[in-house]
Amino acid sequence: MIYRSLFPRDLFAEFERLQRELDQAFGLPSIRGVARGYPAMNVGTTPRSVEVYAFAPGMDPASIDVQIEQGVLTISGERKPEAVPEGATVHIDERFAGRFRRVVSLPDDIDPNAVSATYRDGVLHVSVARREAAQPRRITIQ
């Protein structure tokens, strides 16, 4: 949520466009709506895989829960707030703290058994393979 208030307006127009493209590509609209929250997410596709990037800095990788069920990828966890020493003053408090959960509908052709997840520099990268059959094949004209 915090990201939303920080981004300039024109970026939002851009997001909206990307959201529409996403909805089209994945054949949504999702019943869970298109609300953006924490962590911010980017999604991309290749002919062989679907790549999801969740921007969740400062986490212990073991505490992030990644699940795929019925073609829906769920990323959830909890981010602890920074400790404020006694007598200290908080001047700015923009960073997200608390429980989070985000959901991405994956295309039908994914293989839920071929998933890899890595956490690097505060970004969780989930790569889900797509089934062979779904990959484009060139058909030779006789």
Residues that bind other proteins (CB under 8 A): 2-3, 6-7, 11, 14-15, 18-19, 21-22, 25-26, 36, 39-49, 51, 53, 55-59, 82, 84-85, 87-96, 118-123, 125, 127
Beta partners for residue 130, in sequence order: 110
Question: Which CB atom, from 6 or from 142, has the smaller least distance to other proteins?
Answer: 6
Q: How far is the CB of 133 from other proteins (least distance, A)?
A: 19
Taking the complex as a whole, the smallest distance from the CB of residue 142 to other proteins amounts, in Å, to 29
DSSP letter, residue 124: E
Residue closer to other proteins (CB basis): 53 or 66: 53
Helix (H, G, I), strand (E, B) or coil at 21: helix
Provide the token pair at 16: 């909206």
In the complex with other proteins, which residue's Cβ is closer, 21 or 67?
Answer: 21
Token duo for residue 38:
């924490």
CA distance 20 to 52: 17
User: Which two three-digit tokens encode residue 29?
Assistant: 């609209």
